[in-house]
Amino acid sequence: MVDLDKNAPGVTINAQFESLNKDIASEPDNPVPYFRRSKIFLERQELNNALLDISSAINLDSTKSEYYFQMAKIYRKMNKFMDGLAAIYKADKLNCPDPELFLLGGEMYFILKEYKKSMVYLNKTLYLNKFESRAHFYISLNYLETGDTLSAIHSLETAVTQNTDYAEGYDQLAVIHDSKKDYKSALEYATSAISSKKDAPALYYNRGTIFFHTGNYDKSIEDFQQAITLDSLHYLAWYNLGTSYYNKKNYQSAGKCFQKVIDTKPEYQPVYFIFGQTLEWLNNDSLAAVQYAKAIELDNKDEKSVKALKKIENRK
């Protein structure tokens, strides 16, 4: 039977897959090839096939904790959190020694807003591996959701101390300090995040928002442009790039950005008001009125757009 290790010399995933197909055909009562093929299906994002295979493995042998762990991973990808947690419970009962199991459970309970249960699993993760920085990260998110910002910061600082390349940890610290208007610390953490993960558009976007909050629009423009270079459909980067240009009174550039937002995310209601304002500065009242009308169509309680539209109508 072929080793599933995709790094095995001379063995490709396709070759492994074909070999496992043959193993299943010749040994249909052997759970192992179903388990191994399920891993390949999961890696390929063929989730229904992955679930069918791991279910077959469990039907043939329900004593293996790793089978239930694999099932939990699949359910997590399918956003079937209760089914995933049920699989984790079974794996735990079978004495699964892998701290990743409890990390996954902590994540799913967090998504379900079951914060106390999430913390139980995350603390169990740390009991098995005290250097698991991702557990500290999710613990911090639980603290944030329950209003304990200081404990959240402490957990995140522990995470980035244990893993100095943990971009998500630095980024979350940046977001927290930005919300506290401690922009110096926020920028330091945001820059550390980017240093750890230079190809992540969200990190440039988040640092750009911090620069924006400080009024450093030249720097915010640089970061929003880099976010867009990495993800041309990042509509919030386009929106905030446009807003940065608007605040610099560069209305031509701002208008182009706002049009990009509309092209990418036409249901994003806030863009229409500021686009209308931009067009007014460009002496294009007729097109500005179109933007305000669209803003009102998407949100009939948008008083700013209602007033702006009436103002244009009164000028006619």
Query: In a structure prediction context, what are the per-residue pLDDT tens digits for the chain, which is 316 residues long?
Result: 334 444 454 458 888 999 999 999 999 999 999 999 999 999 999 999 999 999 999 999 999 999 999 999 999 999 999 999 999 999 999 999 999 999 999 999 999 999 999 999 999 999 999 999 999 999 999 999 999 999 999 999 999 999 999 999 999 999 999 999 999 999 999 999 999 999 999 999 999 999 999 999 999 999 999 999 999 999 999 999 999 999 999 999 999 999 999 999 999 999 999 999 999 999 999 999 999 999 999 999 999 999 999 999 987 6
Residue 222 lies in a domain: yes
Residues 143, 171: one domain?
A: no
Q: Are 268 and 239 in contact (CB under 8 A)?
A: yes
Task: Specify the amino acid at residue 277.
Answer: Q
Tell me which long-range contacts 125-129 makes (C-beta under 8 A, separation of at least 24).
125/99, 125/100, 126/99, 128/97, 128/98, 128/99, 128/102, 129/99
Residue 185 lies in a domain: yes
- Cut 0.85: pTM above it: yes
Residue 125 lies in a domain: yes
Counted domains in the chain: 3
Residues 37, 66: one domain?
A: yes
Residues 173, 233: one domain?
A: yes
For residue 61, what are the domain limits?
A: 16-96
Residue 2 lies in a domain: no
Q: Output the CA torsion 131→137→143→148 (10° steps).
A: 90
Most distant CA pair in the chain, distance: 82
Q: Are 193 and 171 in contact (CB under 8 A)?
A: yes
Residue 186 lies in a domain: yes
> What pLDDT score was predicted for residue 13?
83
DSSP 112: T
Cα angle 163, 166, 171 (rounded to 5 degrees) comes to: 140
> What pLDDT score was predicted for residue 160?
98
Residue 263 lies in a domain: no
Quote the CA–CA distance of 85 and 185 in Å, as a whole number.
37
116-155: b (≥16 Cβ within 10 Å) or e: ebbbebbebbbebeeebbbbbbbbbbbbbeeeeeeebbeb
The domain spanning residue 137 has which CATH number? 1.25.40.10
Residue 283 lies in a domain: no
Residue that finishes a domain, picked among 161, 190, 211? 161
Task: Read off the tokens for 44.
Answer: 């390929």
Residue 218 lies in a domain: yes
Residues 60, 70: one domain?
A: yes
Task: Specify the amino acid at residue 34.
Answer: Y
Q: Computed over its alpha carbons, how large is the radius of gyration of the chain? A: 25
> What pLDDT score was predicted for residue 14?
86
Residue that finishes a domain, picked among 217, 237, 257? 237
Quote the CA–CA distance of 156 and 279 in Å, as a whole number.
44
Quote the CA–CA distance of 37 and 17 in Å, as a whole number.
7
Task: Specify the amino acid at residue 309.
Answer: L
> What pLDDT score was predicted for residue 11?
56
Quote the CA–CA distance of 112 and 131 in Å, as a whole number.
25
Residues 83, 21: one domain?
A: yes
Residue that finishes a domain, picked among 108, 139, 161? 161
Residues 103, 92: one domain?
A: no
Residues 88, 125: one domain?
A: no
> What pLDDT score was predicted for residue 7?
44
